[in-house]
Amino acid sequence: MKSFIPLIAVLFLAFSVLPLYSQTDAVISYTEGRGFQVVRDGQSKSYDIAADDVIGLPLQADDMILTDDGSFVEILLNNSTVVKLAENTTSTITSLDGSGGGVFRVTYGRIRVKLAFLFGGSRLWITGHDTVAGVRSTDFGYDLFYDLADEAGERQTSVYCFDGEVDVLQYDKETVSKIDLMEIDPFILRAGKMVKTRSSDPDKKLKSKNIDDEIRAYWNAYPIMTSLGGENLEVSENLNLNSSLDTQKGTYETGGRIVFAMGVGMMTIGGLLKAFLPDNTTANNLAIGMLAMGGASIAAGGGMMLYSISLP
């Protein structure tokens, strides 16, 4: 039974790291591409960037945002921080502190953050499954992708700093609480550098290198468009997320993306079970079961998204 305790702690941290701040609003300040979805309180709504006036759309803690292929969304926090979600990204606003700081959790995809100096105890954190990046003043990015060709769905995380400094924290099966996490000495990532972590080698010591040319080229092509320090963006009162599911097409598309993300998560859990549990029949069956359910969810989610394409 004791072998399950560290594993449960890791899984808990993977899905709910650092809810440090109170809830408050954020605002969509820029969009580009085809569309995106927002999930709030189990209700989802799809937005067509070309047809819908989404600038000024208010967001709040616990909202999940999913961007479509070729679509980008920028979120302005207190006129001092911009969080840009790249295409095919799923991210949840875990919490906000009202001063430009807070916590964003990445399930899959790519995020870039640019912020002015945050005062007091305010910080902006980006977390995935085992790697956390925290800053006060900087320009940095965070990628989380999976190798779906790998049986265990190897997770690959990259943190890179364009300007300023970033604190990078990596936790493992011995990190059993948020207090433990905050006591970890951070790896200081400086401008022009990046670090990569892999779920297949969680104990590997962090080592920085120059930012990959592919990453620089990507963000040069899709830079942050929202300016900081100007007039506050007016929040639109006409955009209401507290509504029922938008359309049948939106239901299948958003639902498919959520099911797909859940499948990737289950495959990750299956890989963790296989790595940390004792090598016996019961543990292996449990890990194989999670991997199988994850694979089935990925297939089901993909099927739902494909079906949504045929809907009006």
**Residues in a beta bridge with 126:** 104, 133
The answer for residues whose C-beta is within 8 angstroms of residue 122's C-beta and 6 or more apart is 97, 99, 100, 101, 136
Q: Is the pLDDT of residue 255 over 90?
A: no
**With bands split at pLDDT 50, 70 and 90, how would you rate the model's confidence at 150?**
low
H or E segment and range at residue 215:
helix 213-221
Domain ranges of the chain: 4-221, 248-309
Q: For residues 246 and 257, give the distance between their C-alpha atoms in angstroms, rounded to a whole number.
A: 15
Query: Helices then strands (H, E): number in the chain?
Result: 5, 16
Long-range CB contact pairs, 299-303, < 8 A, 24+: 299/263, 300/256, 300/259, 300/263, 301/255, 301/256, 301/257, 301/258, 301/259, 301/260, 301/261, 301/262, 301/263, 302/256, 302/260, 303/256
20-68 confidence digits (pLDDT tens): 333 346 999 999 999 999 999 889 999 999 999 899 999 999 999 999 9
Q: What pLDDT does residue 229 have?
A: 67
Handedness of CA 247, 253, 257, 259 (dihedral sign): positive
- Its pTM stands at 0.68
User: Where residue 312 falls among pLDDT bands split at 50, 70, 90?
Assistant: low
Q: The domain 4-221: what is its CATH number?
A: 2.60.120.1440
Rounded Cα distance between 115 and 11, Å, is 30
The whole-number average pLDDT for the span 305-309 is: 75
As a residue count, the chain comes to: 312
Tens digit of each residue's pLDDT (9 = 90 or more) over 185-213: 788 999 999 999 888 777 788 999 999 99
State the pLDDT at residue 149.
60
User: Would you place residue 78 in the very low, low, confident or very high pLDDT band (cuts 50, 70, 90)?
Assistant: confident
